[in-house]
Structure 1
Amino acid sequence: MTKSWFITGTSSGFGRIMTERLLERGDRVAATVRRPEVLDDLRDKYGDRLWVARLDVTDATAVHRVVGEAFAAFGTIDVVVNNAGYGVFAAVEEATDEQVRQVVETNLLGSIWVIRAALPHLRAQHGGRILQVSTAGGQTTYPNFGYYHASKWGIEGFCETVAQEIAPFGIGLTIAEPGASATGFGPGLATAPIMPEYDATPAGDVRRALADGSFPLVNDPEKIAAAMIGIADGPEAPLRVPLGEDTFRDVRASLVARLENHDAHRAIAHSVPIN
């Protein structure tokens, strides 16, 4: 059955791949992008099955307007995909205030604005799905990605709350957690002047690994995009799905370590209740 999708950040990476795959199979896509002309080739090929709008997800007013226009254009939208993202590769001291603000406003607040704008429409049509694109870094951490992690851990907590609130309306929400893959996002990461104090630290080690190519990009972006489409097509909406052996390994190790730390403090946790 033909579906209608709303996808942010469709100029490249997972957003572009998903848009291409969905149009090819006959679906309709409302695609948002900062520069609409980058989708001219798809618009020429697929006509009115591709609806394109310029959107900066950090502009809450624009988000509400564009989401409303997309629902009006298609009548119903079956799946809302929060994919737009921004990353800064720098130790926490190195990044500028503006870079920090851009990461949080794009990845956290931008995703929140899209979900908030879509929910009244999804409720009115009595169902739908939200697919939040996160990362392994939504549950585990790597040096030099502190602000990216702050935004992704934040949006995962928000989405876990939303999923509980919207389930009674027949709306499902899934957090997709892709692992490292060659989507162009890595080379597109913003950077900051390097502080030599961090050279002999884990931050320096990760910086060198990315520079010399030894930080492995082990996942196929096409397969990840196909998996995310499959998740949204499925009858149930799992809360989280790891997409990559690295995601599965690293997130599991993080969860095990957190549980061990949690259990180690049982005594002090039980020492503070009112007698």
Structure 2
Amino acid sequence: MPGKAIIIGATSGIGRSLAVELHNRGYIVGATGRRNQRLKELQDELGDRLYIQTMDVSHTENAIKQLKRITDQMNGLDIIVLNAGISRSGEGTTRKTDLKVVDINIRGFANLTSFCFEQFEKQGHGHLVGISSIASLFGWGRTPVYNASKSFVNTYLQGYRQKANHSDANITITNILPGFVRSEMTENKKNMFWVSSAKKAATQIADAIEAKKDKAYVTKRWRLIAWLIKLIPEKIWNRM
């Protein structure tokens, strides 16, 4: 039977499409995000079994309180999808941009991951899903902090997967690595290829969640790119 899933960062792109996909599959869905109007529009679209809560993950203490609030409204939580993230903040200087990305993609992610893992251990079960990126597999001069932040997600989730394997609770850790997905985050990017719609990406992510996979590339063909990246010597990569 479908359970109760909360998606952190559900106001656009993959997060919004995944909320719709899981809801269509019969899940009770919680959706969070910074833009309350968009959350209300999603609730109007989906109706029953959809709960909403405004949340800014960079405000760590408030984010925990808000997560507790929506979990109480849903009367429990089985799956948490940590999707909130930015590639750049638009604040002007590189330093401000980097720190903003770190606040959301690393501090915000770690805050909710550690809290949810503790809650899943207490209740004896749970499924923690992190949305990383193919960009996590390499450093890139145009977006160094974004790529590094997603690399953190990979290693952090790997550690928590090992921790889950030594826990008495039944906890699954899934890492999703999307390639290019059509969204607000990618709308100004050039030279993209194998671009997926957010709907197709959400379908494959939902399939990976239900299969309880450790790792999934979205779309699946990006596994080939991941393999090729590993073959490129660092000296050559640094000159690209």
TM category (shorter chain) comes to: 0.7 to 0.9
Q: Which runs of 5+ in 1 are unaligned?
A: 189-209, 262-275
CA shift for structure 1 position 125 = 2.0
* Residue number in structure 2 paired with 1:68: 68
Aligned 8 A contact 2:89 2:97 in 1: no
Which of 147-156 and 68-77 deviates more? 68-77
* Residue number in structure 2 paired with 1:222: 199
Look up the equivalent residue of 2:145 and give its one-letter code.
Y
Aligned 8 A contact 1:63 1:117 in 2: no
CA shift for structure 1 position 246 = 6.0
CA shift for structure 1 position 95 = 4.8
Q: Does residue 230 of structure 2 align to residue 255 of structure 1?
A: yes
Aligned 8 A contact 2:7 2:82 in 1: yes
Residue by residue over 1:122-170, the C-alpha shift from the partner in whole angstroms, topping out at 9 and shown as x without a partner, is 1122111111001101113444121101111112111111111123221
Q: 1:115 to 1:245 in 2, by over 3 A?
A: closer
Q: 1:22 to 1:142 in 2, by over 3 A?
A: same
Q: Does residue 37 of structure 2 align to residue 37 of structure 1?
A: yes
Q: 1:165 to 1:245 in 2, by over 3 A?
A: closer
Over aligned residues, Cα RMSD in angstroms?
2.5
Residue by residue over 1:76-125, the C-alpha shift from the partner in whole angstroms, topping out at 9 and shown as x without a partner, is 212100001111299xxx95211001111111111111112212221122
Cα distance in 2 for partners of 1:59, 1:116 equals: 15
Match of 1:88, SS state, is coil
Cα distance in 2 for partners of 1:3, 1:28 equals: 6
Aligned 8 A contact 1:131 1:173 in 2: yes
Q: Does residue 6 of structure 2 align to residue 10 of structure 1?
A: no
Cα distance in 1 for partners of 2:229, 2:45 equals: 45
Aligned 8 A contact 2:161 2:172 in 1: yes
Look up the equivalent residue of 1:254 and give its one-letter code.
I
Cα distance in 1 for partners of 2:194, 2:223 equals: 14
Look up the equivalent residue of 1:43 and give its one-letter code.
Q
Cα distance in 2 for partners of 1:37, 1:97 equals: 30
1:76-91 matches, cutoff 5 A: 76-88=76-88
* Residue number in structure 1 paired with 2:218: 243
* Residue number in structure 2 paired with 1:264: none
Q: 1:23 to 1:247 in 2, by over 3 A?
A: same
* Residue number in structure 2 paired with 1:124: 122
Cα distance in 2 for partners of 1:31, 1:173 equals: 20
Residue by residue over 1:228-250, the C-alpha shift from the partner in whole angstroms, topping out at 9 and shown as x without a partner, is 1111112x432x22223663233
CA shift for structure 1 position 74 = 1.9
Runs of 4+ in 1 over 6 A off after TM superposition: none
Residue by residue over 1:238-275, the C-alpha shift from the partner in whole angstroms, topping out at 9 and shown as x without a partner, is 2x22223663233212223469x9xxxxxxxxxxxxxx
CA shift for structure 1 position 41 = 2.9
CA shift for structure 1 position 179 = 0.5
Match of 1:173, SS state, is strand
Cα distance in 2 for partners of 1:67, 1:245 equals: 31
Match of 2:72, SS state, is helix
Look up the equivalent residue of 1:81 and give its one-letter code.
V
Residue by residue over 1:171-209, the C-alpha shift from the partner in whole angstroms, topping out at 9 and shown as x without a partner, is 111110000121221137xxxxxxxxxxxxxxxxxxxxx
Aligned 8 A contact 2:89 2:100 in 1: no
Q: How many residues align?
A: 233
Match of 1:61, SS state, is helix
Give the TM-score taking structure 1 as reference length: 0.77
Q: Does residue 138 of structure 2 align to residue 152 of structure 1?
A: no
Cα distance in 1 for partners of 2:210, 2:108 equals: 24
Aligned 8 A contact 2:204 2:219 in 1: no
Q: Which runs of 5+ in 2 are unaligned?
A: none
